[in-house]
A = this chain, B = another copy of it.
Amino acid sequence: MTTTHHVAELARELSRSLTEMRSYLRRHMQCKIKEHQLDISFELVEILAYLWRKDGVNQQEIADIIIKDKSSTTYLIDNLVKRDLVKRVEDGNDRRNKLIYLTPEGRLLQEKFYPPVIALFETATQGIQVAAMEKAILLINKMNDNLKQSL
């Protein structure tokens, strides 16, 4: 096996491990959602999680953060609006924009989800050093830069 193929193999393996991790995270969150008997999907919680940190952002920002395309984001935000968890507000500075704000109900959900989310990440990172994680992030971000530039 040449070096090239070895690297390709590692990249493939990395991609697979990443997919697996994503899958586990999703499953765990689904368990939490069930425990709390909440009628909400993992994908909606994902958006809410970002809004809990900072709301009043436009849809494109949300799409960038959660790595989904515009139409998926519209679909999910429509859903959140329907459940009265967020509201859309026109942006006075740029009429193309819709700013997404949490409603009081949307904020309340944070109490239910914040501790389990933290616990989940703690579980995931048990026995792993901060420095190692930082290196992994840098590596993947480097890969993402490489891929981004060739699109």
Contact = CB atoms under 8 A, between A and B. Distances in A.
Interface of A: 3-8, 10-25, 27-28, 31, 65-67, 117-118, 121-128, 130, 132-137, 139-144, 146-148, 150-151
B142 A8 contact: no
A127 B148 contact: no
A28 to B, nearest CB: 7
A49 B130 CA distance: 35
A143 B118 contact: no
Contacts of A124: 11, 143, 146-147
A47 to B, nearest CB: 13
B11 A121 contact: yes
